[in-house]
Amino acid sequence: MEFIAQNFVPLMFGGLLLFLLTGFPVAFALAATGLFFGFLGMEAGLFPPVLFQALPLRIFGIMQNDTLLAIPFFTFMGIILEKSGMAEDLLETIGQVFGPVRGGLALAVIFVGALLAATTGVVAAAVISMGLISLPIMLRNGYNRTIATGVITASGTLAQAIPPSLVLIVMADQLGRSVGDMYAGALVPGLLLVACYALFIIFIAIVKPAWVPALPPEARIYKEANGSSGHRSLLVLLVIAAAAGFAWSQVHDGLIRGWTGRENAAPGDEVLILSMTIASFVALALAIVNHVLKLGLLSKLSERVTFVLIPPLVLIFLVLGTIFLGLATPTEGGAMGALGAFIMALARRKLEMRLLKEALENTTKLAIFVLFILIGSTVFSFTFNAADGHIFIEHLFSKMPGGAMGFLIVVNLLVFILGMFIDFFEIAFIVVPLLAPVAEKLLPALLPAGSDALIWFGVIIAINLQTSFLTPPFGFALFYLRSVAAKSDYNDRVTGQRIPAVTTAQIYKGAIAFIVLQVIMVAAVVIYPNLVLGSLDKPPVAGTQTIQLEATRVEEQAAPADGKEETAEEKAKREKEEEEEEDPAKALMRSMNKDKK
């Protein structure tokens, strides 16, 4: 008993590890470890017998959590989008746009991957579509296989890093920050990562042109009557749209301020998203006018590009636009995105009853297992915290050389290695809450005063977790591509050429360069925290802005606005409730400890 009492926390860790490795469901293993060691601790006299009294209230707290609602919403949206055929249209058309230049097909994959990533937060869909559509085209044209497979798996995982992603929602929940802030912080690093990928491909195109050949002229689908490709018309349209977007970005602040009555300047990401929306609507309007009136001013290519780009751009506005503008909470943004995807799939007649049921069932199963891991880890941390486990971890890290920077490096290595074996939900729910208190204490030392260290920390971990999809032996993106890439030699459908199978080794090798790029990105965010924090120099995204918005409306209409204000009140109340529900247990513990002394 003495031994148990003295080594309680390490024993608990060991027990958890052992139990998890047996292959018993993670959620139950977590809860069972917490419970088992709770009782052990009671026997050893470490805890009062009423330790678990407050547990049901904790579970009730999880049930009440609005943020977690976003998980089923974004999952449902992702699955519906996958069925809607949007990714296929995009790949085909964008491939035609970039195809005629060296490295163009790979750039198209990156571009489409980023677009899909900004609409939803699910990885599987993107990798499978790209593996089915772009991979055969790349192989037909003699792309280097390592580059071809790598660019597909890596672009598919962008969904993890670019908002709205599930991992950022979970991170925000576990670190006690708003999802909106987490999204704002992750936007710039996410886009930089896309740029890194693109630069890498351009570099290859210059150094090793034979690895990334251009599409030959006969492979182009859209041709004008006079034989031109229609690229010039597309360029003109792009310039017009860009000019409209730029013009909007100049007047945005004045217009929106007049509309909402907001006093501070509009944040950069909001201007960016809205300007892009305006630009795309200008392009759409031109394309529609041209199409309906048969003006023939635009080439087929530019018309087609405009039409396929509109659905994802509208979805991005529905989700990210409304969240960044403060019109909707991230949960509502997710719901609107899901509804938008649902309507789009209906309109394209891609949504049969069978597919809808399948999508709902998969969403339900994912939501249940995720929420149960959270319940399990709540039971675990109940005992863990009662045993002062967080203090144990703090001591562990305070002994480490390098202080705060040493902590960050070790944590990143840990997450990277864990990511090879277990998936990001488990890491986010088990590891992150253990590290969060230490991060909160140590990290502000590395940042200018007043900046939010936990947002920075969350974004770093989120980008790091993206590698978990690419690292062998258990990289899901690699599995997804393996499942759709040719397993035996085949005759190409167009040229009739014999094309050798894609080997698993090629897929694994392909990921390496992109894993390196991601590690570089993690390092860049660690070294330049401003990449994350630069987007945050403003009031919290969904909170104050909405309330100000409501407040002006009250003045204007002299009518009570009972919507957002009450939800804010509700939140405050809930937080108070949560504090209270934590308190009895703590108070009890304290009094018990006093009694002992």
Partner 1 sequence: MNAMLKMSQLIDGLNGRLGRGLMWLILAAVLISAGNAIVRKAFDMSSNALLEIQWYLFASVFMLGSGFAFLKNAHVRIDFISNHLSAKTRNLIDMVGIVVFLLPLCYMLITLSWPLFANAWNSGEMSQNAGGLIRWPMYGLIPLGFTLLALQGLSELIKRAAFLSGAGPDVISHIETESKDEIGHEIEEHAAHVQEEVR
Interaction with partner 1 in 42-71: which residues (CB under 8 A)? 52-53, 55-57, 59-60, 63-66, 68-69
Q: Is 129 in the site for partner 1 (CB under 8 A)?
A: yes
Q: Is 303 in the site for partner 1 (CB under 8 A)?
A: no
Alpha-carbon gap, residue 486 to 497, rounded angstroms: 14
Residue closer to partner 1 (CB basis): 104 or 326? 326
Q: Is 499 in the site for partner 1 (CB under 8 A)?
A: no
Range in contact with partner 1 (rule: CB under 8 A) among 111-119, 419-427, 496-504, 528-536: 419-427
Size of the site for partner 1 (CB under 8 A): 86
Q: Is 92 in the site for partner 1 (CB under 8 A)?
A: yes
Q: How far is the CB of 560 from partner 1 (least distance, A)?
A: 10
Q: How far is the CB of 55 from partner 1 (least distance, A)?
A: 6
Tell me which residue has tokens 């609507």. 281
Build a one-symbol-per-residue string for 13-32: x at contacts with partner 1 by CB under 8 A, - elsewhere. Answer: -------xxxxxxxxxx-xx
Range in contact with partner 1 (rule: CB under 8 A) among 230-238, 326-334, 400-408, 447-455: 326-334
At residue 583, φ and ψ (nearest 5 deg) are: -60, -50
Range in contact with partner 1 (rule: CB under 8 A) among 180-188, 260-268, 442-450, 569-577: 569-577
Q: Are 386 and 62 in contact (CB under 8 A)?
A: no
Q: 166: buried, middle or exposed (CB in 10 Å: 19+, 13-18, 0-12)?
A: buried
The set of residues, in sequence order, having a beta carbon less than 8 Å from that of 97 and lying 6+ positions away, is 104, 108, 231, 234, 301, 305
Alpha-carbon gap, residue 86 to 122, rounded angstroms: 14
Name the 3-class secondary structure at 56: helix
Alpha-carbon gap, residue 55 to 154, rounded angstroms: 41
Task: Rule CB under 8 A: choose which of 15, 42, 85, 444 binds partner 1.
Answer: 85
Q: Which of residues 109-128 bind partner 1 (CB under 8 A)?
A: 128
Task: Rule CB under 8 A: choose which of 173, 269, 426, 452 binds partner 1.
Answer: 426
Task: Rule CB under 8 A: choose which of 224, 253, 388, 423 binds partner 1.
Answer: 423
Q: Which residues of 488-523 are buried (b: 16+ CB within 10 A; e: fewer)?
A: eeeeeeeeeeebeebebebbbebbebbbebbeebbe
Q: Are 290 and 240 in contact (CB under 8 A)?
A: no
Q: How far is the CB of 492 from partner 1 (least distance, A)?
A: 13
Q: Is 100 in the site for partner 1 (CB under 8 A)?
A: no
Q: Is 322 in the site for partner 1 (CB under 8 A)?
A: yes
Q: How far is the CB of 451 from partner 1 (least distance, A)?
A: 30
- The half-sphere exposure of 398 on its side-chain side, counting CA atoms within 13 A, is 10
Q: Is 573 in the site for partner 1 (CB under 8 A)?
A: yes
Q: Which of residues 198-257 bind partner 1 (CB under 8 A)?
A: none
Alpha-carbon gap, residue 232 to 376, rounded angstroms: 58
Alpha-carbon gap, residue 411 to 395, rounded angstroms: 15
Q: Is 586 in the site for partner 1 (CB under 8 A)?
A: no
DSSP string, 74-129: HHHHHHHHHHHTHHHHHHHHHHHHHTTSTTHHHHHHHHHHHHHHHH---HHHHHHH
Q: Which of residues 544-563 bind partner 1 (CB under 8 A)?
A: 553, 557, 559, 561-563
Alpha-carbon gap, residue 128 to 50, rounded angstroms: 51
Q: Is 280 in the site for partner 1 (CB under 8 A)?
A: no
Q: Is 424 in the site for partner 1 (CB under 8 A)?
A: no
Alpha-carbon gap, residue 81 to 173, rounded angstroms: 25
Q: How far is the CB of 534 from partner 1 (least distance, A)?
A: 28
Q: Is 365 in the site for partner 1 (CB under 8 A)?
A: yes
Tell me which residue has tokens 């562990």. 396
Residue closer to partner 1 (CB basis): 84 or 157? 84
Q: How far is the CB of 550 from partner 1 (least distance, A)?
A: 9
Residue closer to partner 1 (CB basis): 200 or 384? 384
- The half-sphere exposure of 471 on its side-chain side, counting CA atoms within 13 A, is 20
Q: Which of residues 432-491 bind partner 1 (CB under 8 A)?
A: 473-474, 483-484
Q: How far is the CB of 484 from partner 1 (least distance, A)?
A: 6
Residue closer to partner 1 (CB basis): 32 or 126? 32
Q: Is 513 in the site for partner 1 (CB under 8 A)?
A: no
Residue closer to partner 1 (CB basis): 102 or 564? 564
Q: Which of residues 367-406 bind partner 1 (CB under 8 A)?
A: 367-369, 371-373, 379
Q: Is 364 in the site for partner 1 (CB under 8 A)?
A: yes
Radius of gyration for the chain, computed over Cα atoms and rounded to the nearest angstrom: 26
Residue closer to partner 1 (CB basis): 404 or 430? 430
Rounded (to 5) percent helix, strand, coil in the chain: 80, 0, 20
Alpha-carbon gap, residue 255 to 262, rounded angstroms: 10
Alpha-carbon gap, residue 374 to 426, rounded angstroms: 9
Q: How far is the CB of 65 from partner 1 (least distance, A)?
A: 7
Q: In the structure encoding, which two tokens stand for residue 289, read together?
A: 């006018």
Residue closer to partner 1 (CB basis): 65 or 385? 65
Q: Is 281 in the site for partner 1 (CB under 8 A)?
A: no
Residue closer to partner 1 (CB basis): 227 or 473? 473
Closest Cα to residue 69, out of 333, 273, 457? 333
Query: Rounded to an integer, what is the distance from CA 330 to the centroid of its chain?
Result: 13
Instruction: Tell me which DSSP letter residue 229 carries.
Output: -
Alpha-carbon gap, residue 511 to 179, rounded angstroms: 30
Q: How far is the CB of 183 from partner 1 (least distance, A)?
A: 16
Q: How far is the CB of 340 from partner 1 (least distance, A)?
A: 8
Q: How far is the CB of 497 from partner 1 (least distance, A)?
A: 17
Q: Which of residues 334-363 bind partner 1 (CB under 8 A)?
A: 334-336, 338-339, 342, 357, 360-361, 363
Q: Which amino acid is at 65?
A: N
Q: Is 332 in the site for partner 1 (CB under 8 A)?
A: yes
Alpha-carbon gap, residue 340 to 119, rounded angstroms: 11
Residue closer to partner 1 (CB basis): 22 or 488? 22
Q: Is 134 in the site for partner 1 (CB under 8 A)?
A: no
Residue closer to partner 1 (CB basis): 69 or 198? 69
